[in-house]
Amino acid sequence: MKSTDYFRTVVPQKHPEVRLEWIQRVLANPVKQTTQEDGRIVYWGNIAEKEGRALRVVTLEDGGTVHNAFFDRSFYRRQLRGEEPQ
């Protein structure tokens, strides 16, 4: 899995609970995918091992270089309200 310097240096400190296997799982089978204005692609997926919480994975424009990953509470809340896919 390709990743940015930011992902390799900052993300493990800010979000140590995020596992690489979960990122790969979300990229392979997202529940939702969008493209930001800057061209980065955002994927969301639910992680069963974390009580179904939503993991947000941001890649560069190529869709394969991971730049950021974190649990997205607001997306998860919208899912619970039926406003986002599950």
pLDDT score, position 78? 96
CA 49 – CA 15 distance, rounded (Å) = 16
pTM over 0.85: yes
CA distance 36 to 24: 20
85 falls in which pLDDT band (50, 70, 90)?
very high
pLDDT more than 90, % of the chain: 99
Joined tokens for residue 38: 């800057």
Give me the pLDDT at residue 86, please. Answer: 87
Which pLDDT score is estimated for 81? 95
Specify the pLDDT at position 71. Answer: 98
